[in-house]
Amino acid sequence: MVLRRVRTIDLSILRLRYGVVTCLVLVLCLVMGSSVALAEVKQGAEDVCLAAPFAESCQVVKIDAILVTGLLRTKRHVVTRELLFDEGDYASLEQIQESMQRLRNLGIFRHADFELVSHKVPLPDGSMPRELNPKRPSRVLKIKVDERWTLLPFGSFVQGGGLTSGSAGLFDVNLFGRYLEAGFQYSRLGESDSFWRSGGAANSFMVWFVQNRFMDTYTRMGVDLRRALRQRRVYTEAGDVEGGFTLERSLATLHVNREMLRWLRVGASLELAHDNFSSRFIDEESTLLQVQNFGGLPEDSRVYMLRWNMALGRLNSDDFYVDGWRVFGAVGHTNKVWGATQTFSDFDVTARYYKKLKWRGNLAMRAQLGMTNTDYIQYLNYMGGLNRVRGYRDSRFRGRTAWSVNAEYRVAPLATRWVVLQGVGFVDAGAVGERSVTIDRVDALSVGGGIRIISPKIYGLIMRADYAFPLTPGEPSRLSFGAGQFF
């Protein structure tokens, strides 16, 4: 009996090692190709217009020196690393403009712009640029950035769907001025009527570290460690409560993502999750219904999920505006061979579209589709409350498949360098199903409006309040507020 148990433990360790090694091989392949990918991006940019180096339509110039102004904490290397050319290279106007957009998309600059100077100006060390061609004045590229403050203690308070969520912590997306990200977060989640009571809500913790330019390439690599508690109410199709439970999850995630082209990203991740269930923070009536309808709590589980993802398109940022489109898809799989307690797969795709409009307007649209073949209730797709659709109770809708669409029109009657007041009108819709979902069926539909208070100079500082009017039957939860845009 002891020998059999030892062999079982050894086999589980071997399966886990197999999954870890598989993920590490994928990471190694991505990292080994990073330098090549970076060179290809720059080489592709340098090929533009170089067949006719001084054609008027190409506006190609030789960059003898690069001068960066406006930096406070950020190292100069973070800026020059994003440029599609180096000092001494030829660059077209298109390449320079693309480089400025890359700087804005980092998120650590409110704005980035340039000026091409055809006369000598002092460099940062006080020296003058060297004349490489006495018959032509030096061309100096002056880059001006407006840096955001990124080292932030933060707090958020979100309420919607009968739940209240609060969080606090410290994070920096530009650690040491090197575009590294690290943070710690404490979160509290519970029913709105018991959130403030001692023992009336669940506490969660998370730490993370991300190297956004691993080895100075367009590769993003990071690790997340978290312990999360999440209450779930279980509803019938008619909207009646039929149970409830608290999920306690310990999760470690290793992820890597690489930019292959400016409109194409690929990546992979390994998630190690252990789930335990209890009736903590669940009212007595829901606990009894859970026993009557499901025979008790869900079984504890162990999942080792390997995910592959791809993103097409690009979202461009400028001040508080977003413009462009992106489609992100991910496929995940876990298997008993790796040591998991069940074999299943899931698939998620999200499409986003943003358009900058006149009169400080911004159109925002999102469509989501999720599918899974799992029997684990905690890995089903949920809608209502804090995500997907506004105006309904948290987790009001669930199923193996789900789709949702959101549209917002955002307009800013007040916009300054430090404060933006934005009004929002929105419509949300979605549906869930067990095996398939058809677009002619809508489970949730709501319209409404809200306000946003934004500080463009402080990274991620957005306060949101929305009021939704549900247009389909169900117990409403109209008011929601929190930190950040809804999407």
Domain ranges of the chain: 8-32+152-483, 34-147
pLDDT tens track for 140-190 = 899 999 999 998 887 666 665 566 777 888 999 999 999 999 999 998 876
Quick check: helix, strand or coil at residue 93? helix
Measured distance CA(195)–CA(446) in Å, rounded: 26
Q: How many angstroms separate the CA atoms of 95 and 87, rounded? A: 14
What is the CATH T-level fold of the domain 34-147, as seen in this structure? Ubiquitin-like (UB roll) (3.10.20)
Name the token pair of 470: 């549900």
> Which segments within 262-360 are labelled E, that is strand?
264-278, 301-318, 321-334, 344-357
122: tokens are 């002092």
For residue 16, give Cα distances in angstroms to 9, 10, 13, 270, 486.
Answer: 11, 10, 5, 11, 37
Q: What stretches in the chain show pLDDT beneath 50?
A: 1-14, 16-18, 20-28, 30-32, 34-57, 135
Query: How much is the pLDDT for 27?
Result: 46
In whole angstroms, give the CA distance from residue 389 to residue 393. 10
Q: What is the pTM of this model?
A: 0.77
CB of 96 closer than 8 Å to CB of 60 = no
Other beta carbons within 10 Å of 176: 12
The pLDDT, as a whole number, for residue 382 is: 92
* 229-267 exposure pattern, b = at least 16 Cβ within 10 A, e = fewer: bbbbbbbeeeeebbbbbbbbbebebbbbbbbbebeebeb
- In the numeric block, the tokens 């990274």 are attached to 459
Q: What is the pLDDT of residue 420?
A: 96
Q: Report the topology of domain 8-32+152-483.
A: Porin (2.40.160)
